[in-house]
């Protein structure tokens, strides 16, 4: 682990959030966004005759779903330092350099690359299991850490 970051975290009384809780937070966030789209797409989904037709409905709005994720994660991380899932799991996102709540551009950058991390077979998320600072690709690109709140 980077000695400088480890020292600053210790001085600030912060610890890195465990990956298990991060995984639960991820699930909470994805379920919330998915429930919104199921609600919005209930009529075409309920009229579908097969799993392929349901997949076609979902695929027709994939760009809107990606945009919704970007807006959701940008807003909550910028305003509160955490998504609803992270708030529920008592974690927060901080900028690695300052250990403060991310600025808008940092939250936006992180949100965009969070979507990309998921699109590449979730490898961007799996990366955190092997990283000493438990950073995903989107954390690395945005220079953020997820810490206990």
CA distance 136 to 60: 28
Sites in the chain below the pLDDT cut of 70 = 1
Q: What is the pLDDT of residues 55-87, one digit of tens each?
A: 999 899 999 999 999 999 999 999 999 999 999
Instruction: Domain count for the chain, please give it.
Output: 1
What's the confidence (pLDDT) of residue 1? 64
Place of tokens 């709540």: 101
Q: What is the pLDDT of residues 26-36, one digit of tens each?
A: 999 999 999 99
CA angle, 81 as apex, 127 and 66 as ends, to 5°?
60
Q: In three state form, how does the secondary structure of 95-148 look?
A: ECCCCCCCCHHHHHHHHHHHHHHHHCCCHHHHHHHCCCCCCCHHHHHHCEEEEE
* Domain enclosing residue 55, as ranges: 3-148
């Amino acid at each position: 682990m980077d000695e400088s970051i480890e020292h600053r975290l210790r001085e600030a009384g912060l610890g890195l959030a465990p990956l298990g809780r991060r995984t639960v937070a991820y699930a909470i966030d994805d379920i919330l966004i998915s429930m919104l789209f199921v609600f919005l797409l209930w009529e075409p989904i309920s009229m579908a005759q097969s799993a392929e037709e349901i997949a076609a409905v979902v695929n027709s709005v994939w760009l809107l779903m990606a945009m919704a994720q970007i807006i959701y994660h940008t807003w909550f991380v910028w305003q509160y330092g955490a998504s609803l899932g992270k708030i529920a799991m008592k974690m927060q996102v901080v900028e690695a350099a300052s250990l403060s709540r991310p600025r808008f551009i940092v939250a936006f950058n992180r949100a965009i690359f969070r979507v990309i991390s998921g699109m590449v077979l979730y490898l961007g998320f799996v990366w955190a299991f092997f990283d000493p600072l438990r950073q995903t690709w989107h954390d690395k690109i945005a220079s953020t850490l997820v810490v206990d709140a």
